[in-house]
Structure 1
């Protein structure tokens, strides 16, 4: 199943498959998500999914099932 992923604040939209790693989707869309450990420990890759209250680590997350569209809000953290 294809999901339309919209990255904010860049305003870039790309189609992705359920289960596809978020970092891979962002890379394919030309969107940069900072990374550190690539294991979810450092939280450098935290993003917000629209409709969720807690941020997720993009390095260990994939496109979730059950949605036709997904809005991902990228943080801008000058320390990374």
Structure 2
């Protein structure tokens, strides 16, 4: 299934497949999500996804099923 993913604040939209790595999708969009440990422990790669209550770690997350569109808000933690 194809999902349209909109990245904020840059307002860049790309198409991805369910199960694609969020880091790879952002890279294809020309965007960089900061990473640290690549295991979800350091939280350097946290992003906010519309409809989710808590931020998620992009390094261990994939495009979820069940939605045709997602909005992902990228923000940078100044400590990283």
TM-score by length of 2: 0.97
TM-score by length of 1: 0.97
Runs of 4+, deviation exceeding 3 Å: none
CA distance in 1, matches of 2:35, 2:28: 16
* Alignment pair present for 1:72 and 2:75: no
User: What RMSD in Å do the two structures reach over aligned CA positions?
Assistant: 0.6
Structure 2 alignment gaps of length 5 or more: none
* Alignment pair present for 1:57 and 2:45: no
Structure 1 alignment gaps of length 5 or more: none
Count of paired positions = 80
Structure 2 counterparts to residues 1-80 of structure 1, below 5 A: 1-80=1-80
